[in-house]
């Protein structure tokens, strides 16, 4: 507890101290040269305190012209050069070499505020020029093409670090990226073998305060050749201090210098890497002792950082496109499964893991839970799903720490780790869940981030003194879900919704088509029966009329033949009617209700009264038949056909009966119609339900076309039931209709 508050206090102290410091107007320069500030007309208004000594002239004659201060060969063309300086912000241009009292110097200039100019003289050695020339050639011919062609950010960082080290000869060159929380991580580190490796090390955000990051964004190169050298104060004619934002000689803030000394650096350079105007990271260089980097070499490093920055948007787009492509492929595979079964239960959790990188995935639907990989047990998933549904009814929900964000779910359930959940379309609360295991995540801080400041012996604040690796272990949390992860989950949801909608539309279309084709089939059956019957009736009538009008003239043979035509046409009509009836059975609607079987039998007996009387058949009902849950019309048809069949095939004996019984057998109702008729030969039992299959001579047993039992069997099937026959030739037949009662109502 106490360490937390100390951290907070320390952080605020540090922030305040840095916020007060105006780092772009330090009113001092580094000691490796001299600086002159000119007004818009080229007259002297600022000068570093060492200007007299460096130039060997009386410099601080405020208002004197710049040509008067420099040797004639340098001074003469200078005003022209100044006028040609670019208007935009930027690092100083190297205008040439000038030899003054303190020796050979590079002459640099850039535009200052208020239309004025800043002229810098930086000490140089003869070999600097040669290094520079070689560097430019190499940069254009080899390095730049490599940077442009490199594949991936990591490769790019390696190339840039190596090349900057080669150019600058620093002991250490790092490529350092800022994260969203402004802390930074080292992506590449080139250093001497004996030095510690900083790769993957993380630097706290406070190491580079906000106004420094803003300065770094505007002015891309900073170089300090000797952190221990004294700074040279700036003097001025007027009241306004000189803005040194872009000056190469700008003195670093004392806090920054102390930070570098604490890090063990004698010299330092950093070059900003900008990504579409945003500070993406730094090329950070350090030397254990004082070190020299000529201005033109620094410009080459700046060029390299620029080339690096220009690669970033394209690389980022390519990375994301590749990720999107992979995820889209995975999504397509998932969608192949989904619509077939029409619901989330068809989704495969293993395939979910291709869409979002995770350790485990689960589908939690009304049909149950299916999971793959490293997930909590199903019971725990159900609890988590219930918790998530309360938190978010729609869309996507995620956490890196289940234990913290879903505390109401039992602790055994959420030992830790992360969850990404997306509500599946359909509104039934189904979820797709991705799990990431808790990582005992180790952040390697460069020094203890909770102690960014220290108070030195003199009572002054100074940056933390130790950069020894300080490992912080983070518990209960998973790796973070990226925006791409969340987007992928949301896209999956959208795609599933679209697929389900398409599926529903297809089903609707199919249903409509089925209904239409049923209606067409029905109409066809009637039309066919109508068109067959009409000519049949014509044939029948003309045969009859011929018999009536010319019967006497025809003789017996002629009359017999016409009689045959008449008989056949009547039979043909029966066949057509049976076909029509059967063709309609499969499509007829089934209306289930409680059917009074006694009443039904009474109707049937009345309808068959003629035949029953003619054949002297007794209808026996020993016990009330009760009710059967079925379709009344179809059951009547079944009973009618069975009774008619029994009457038709009554045996030649004194007492002829047909007996009707009902009973229950489990969930089924049984309707039994038995008779003591002629029976069916065993070899024909299988044939009785076949359409138009007659077992007897055409005109025996009252004729008929052999459709009755076929119709009965189709009706029983339509009602979800079965029909069986048991027969002993010569003693009788029993038909058993079994109709399910408990199940579905269709």
CB 689, min distance to another protein, A: 26
Binding string, 494-523, against another protein, x = CB under 8 A? ----------------------------xx
CB 591, min distance to another protein, A: 14
Q: Is 541 in the site for another protein (CB under 8 A)?
A: yes
> How many CB atoms lie under 10 A from the CB of residue 559?
16
Q: Is 692 in the site for another protein (CB under 8 A)?
A: no
> 2 - beta bridge partners?
none
Q: State which residue, 567 or 693, has the beta carbon closest to another protein.
A: 567
Phi, psi of 173 (to 5 degrees): -130, 125
CB 694, min distance to another protein, A: 20
CB 563, min distance to another protein, A: 12
Burial of residue 172 (number of CB atoms within 10 Å: 0-12, 13-18, 19+): buried
CB 703, min distance to another protein, A: 13
d(CA 91, CA 118): 11
Residue spans of beta strands (DSSP E) within 440-565: 441-446, 453-455, 461-463, 469-474
CB 678, min distance to another protein, A: 28
Specify the pairing of strand 418-423 against strand 431-436: antiparallel
- Residue 740's nearest CA partner among 673, 669, 671 is 669
Burial of residue 380 (number of CB atoms within 10 Å: 0-12, 13-18, 19+): middle
d(CA 63, CA 270): 35
Q: Is 538 in the site for another protein (CB under 8 A)?
A: yes
Q: Which two tokens stand for residue 260?
A: 């570098």
> 474 - beta bridge partners?
441
| Sequence-distant contacts of 661-667: CB under 8 A, at least 24 apart | 661/621, 661/622, 661/623, 661/625, 662/597, 662/625, 662/626, 662/628, 664/741, 665/738, 667/740, 667/741, 667/742, 667/743
Element housing 91 (H / E): none
Q: Of 137, 390, 542, 665, which one interacts with another protein (CB under 8 A)?
A: 542
Using DSSP's 3-state secondary structure scheme, residue 230 falls into coil
CB 543, min distance to another protein, A: 9
CB 544, min distance to another protein, A: 4
Q: Of 140, 545, 550, 616, which one interacts with another protein (CB under 8 A)?
A: 545
Q: Which two tokens stand for residue 565?
A: 């035509």
Q: State which residue, 210 or 535, has the beta carbon closest to another protein.
A: 535
Phi, psi of 356 (to 5 degrees): -130, 130
- What is the 8-class DSSP label of residue 247? -
Q: Is 524 in the site for another protein (CB under 8 A)?
A: no
Q: Which two tokens stand for residue 607?
A: 């309808």
Q: State which residue, 272 or 569, has the beta carbon closest to another protein.
A: 569
d(CA 55, CA 71): 9
CB 539, min distance to another protein, A: 9
Q: Of 536, 592, 621, 651, which one interacts with another protein (CB under 8 A)?
A: 536
Binding window for another protein (CB under 8 A); candidates: 214-222, 229-237, 536-544, 683-691 = 536-544
Q: Of 569, 662, 676, 733, which one interacts with another protein (CB under 8 A)?
A: 569
> 172 - beta bridge partners?
191, 286
- Count of chain residues binding another protein (CB under 8 A): 21
Using DSSP's 3-state secondary structure scheme, residue 450 falls into coil
Q: State which residue, 542 or 616, has the beta carbon closest to another protein.
A: 542
Binding window for another protein (CB under 8 A); candidates: 159-167, 228-236, 330-338, 527-535 = 527-535
Q: Is 578 in the site for another protein (CB under 8 A)?
A: no
Binding string, 185-214, against another protein, x = CB under 8 A? ------------------------------
Q: Of 183, 211, 529, 583, which one interacts with another protein (CB under 8 A)?
A: 529
Q: Is 573 in the site for another protein (CB under 8 A)?
A: yes
Q: State which residue, 294 or 704, has the beta carbon closest to another protein.
A: 704
Q: Is 533 in the site for another protein (CB under 8 A)?
A: yes
Binding window for another protein (CB under 8 A); candidates: 22-30, 136-144, 359-367, 540-548 = 540-548
d(CA 572, CA 714): 22
d(CA 305, CA 301): 6
CB 714, min distance to another protein, A: 18
Q: Of 333, 393, 530, 561, which one interacts with another protein (CB under 8 A)?
A: 530
Binding window for another protein (CB under 8 A); candidates: 228-236, 345-353, 563-571, 692-700 = 563-571
CB 648, min distance to another protein, A: 19
For residue 645, the Cα-to-chain-centroid distance in whole angstroms is 67
Q: Is 586 in the site for another protein (CB under 8 A)?
A: no
- Residue 292's nearest CA partner among 192, 168, 190, 195 is 168
Q: Of 127, 180, 194, 534, which one interacts with another protein (CB under 8 A)?
A: 534
The binding site for another protein (CB under 8 A) comprises: 522-523, 526-527, 529-530, 533-534, 536-538, 540-542, 544-545, 566, 569-570, 572-573
């Amino acid at each position: 507890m106490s360490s937390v508050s100390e951290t907070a206090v320390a952080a605020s102290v540090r922030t305040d101290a840095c916020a007060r410091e105006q780092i772009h107007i330090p009113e001092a320069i580094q000691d490796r040269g001299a600086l002159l500030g000119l007004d818009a007309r080229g007259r002297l208004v600022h000068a570093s305190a060492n200007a007299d000594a460096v130039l060997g002239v009386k410099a601080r004659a405020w208002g004197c012209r710049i040509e008067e201060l420099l040797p004639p060969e340098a001074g003469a063309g200078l005003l022209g050069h100044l006028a040609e300086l670019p208007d935009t912000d930027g690092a100083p241009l190297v205008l040439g070499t000038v030899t003054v009292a303190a020796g050979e110097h590079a002459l640099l200039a850039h535009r200052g505020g208020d239309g004025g100019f800043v002229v810098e003289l930086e000490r140089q050695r003869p070999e600097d020029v040669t290094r520079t020339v070689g560097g430019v050639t190499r940069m254009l011919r080899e390095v730049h093409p490599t940077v442009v062609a490199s594949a991936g950010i990591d490769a790019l960082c390696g190339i840039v670090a190596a090349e900057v080290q080669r150019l600058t000869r620093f002991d250490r060159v790092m490529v350092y990226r800022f994260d969203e929380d402004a802390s930074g991580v080292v992506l590449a580190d080139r250093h001497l073998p004996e030095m510690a490796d900083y790769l993957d090390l993380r630097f706290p955000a406070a190491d580079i305060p906000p106004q420094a990051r803003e300065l770094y964004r505007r002015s891309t190169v900073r170089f300090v050749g000797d952190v221990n050298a004294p700074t040279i104060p700036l003097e001025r004619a007027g009241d306004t201090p000189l803005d040194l934002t872009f000056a190469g000689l700008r003195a670093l803030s004392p806090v920054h210098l102390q930070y570098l000394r604490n890090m063990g650096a004698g010299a330092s350079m950093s070059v900003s890497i900008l990504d579409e105007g945003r500070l993406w990271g730094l090329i950070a260089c350090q030397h254990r002792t004082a070190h020299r980097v000529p201005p033109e070499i620094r410009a080459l490093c700046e060029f390299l950082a620029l080339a690096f920055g220009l690669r970033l948007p394209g690389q980022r787009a390519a990375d994301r496109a590749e990720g999107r492509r992979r995820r889209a492929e995975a999504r397509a595979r998932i969608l192949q499964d989904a619509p077939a079964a029409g619901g989330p239960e068809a989704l495969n959790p293993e395939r979910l893991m291709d869409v979002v990188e995770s350790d485990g995935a689960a589908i939690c639907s009304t049909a149950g839970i299916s999971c793959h990989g490293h997930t909590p047990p199903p019971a725990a998933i159900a609890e988590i799903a219930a918790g998530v549904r309360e938190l978010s009814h729609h869309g996507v929900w995620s956490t890196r720490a289940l234990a913290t964000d879903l505390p109401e779910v039992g602790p055994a359930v959420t030992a830790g780790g992360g969850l990404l959940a997306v509500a599946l379309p359909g509104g039934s609360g189904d979820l797709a869940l991705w799990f990431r295991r808790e990582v005992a995540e180790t952040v390697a801080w460069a020094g203890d981030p909770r102690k960014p400041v220290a108070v030195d012996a003199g009572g002054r604040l100074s940056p933390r003194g130790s950069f020894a690796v300080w490992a912080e272990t983070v518990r209960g949390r998973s790796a973070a879900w990226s925006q791409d992860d969340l987007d992928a989950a949301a896209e999956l949801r959208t795609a599933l919704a679209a697929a389900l909608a398409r599926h529903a539309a297809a089903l609707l279309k199919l249903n409509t088509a089925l209904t239409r084709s049923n209606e067409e089939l029905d109409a066809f059956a009637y039309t066919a029966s109508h068109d067959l019957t009409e000519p049949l009736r014509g044939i029948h009538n003309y045969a009859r009329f011929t018999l009536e009008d010319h019967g006497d003239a025809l003789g017996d043979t002629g009359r017999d033949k016409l009689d045959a035509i008449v008989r056949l046409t009547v039979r043909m009509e029966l066949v057509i009617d049976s076909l029509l009836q059967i063709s309609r059975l499969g499509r007829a609607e089934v209306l289930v209700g409680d059917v009074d079987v006694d009443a039904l039998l009474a109707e049937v007996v009345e309808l068959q009264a003629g035949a029953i009387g003619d054949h002297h058949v007794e209808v026996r009902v020993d016990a009330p038949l009760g009710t059967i849950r079925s379709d009344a019309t179809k059951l009547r048809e079944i009973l009618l056909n069975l009774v008619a069949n029994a009457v038709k095939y009554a045996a030649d004996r004194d007492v002829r009966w047909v007996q009707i019984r009902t009973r229950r057998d489990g969930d089924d109702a049984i309707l039994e119609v038995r008779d003591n008729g002629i029976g069916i030969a065993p070899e024909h039992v299988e044939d009785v339900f076949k359409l138009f299959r007659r077992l007897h001579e055409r005109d025996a047993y009252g004729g008929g076309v052999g459709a009755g039992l076929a119709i009965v069997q189709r009706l029983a099937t339509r009602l979800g039931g079965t029909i069986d026959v048991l027969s002993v030739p010569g003693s009788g037949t029993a038909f058993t209709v079994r109709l399910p009662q408990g199940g579905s109502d269709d």
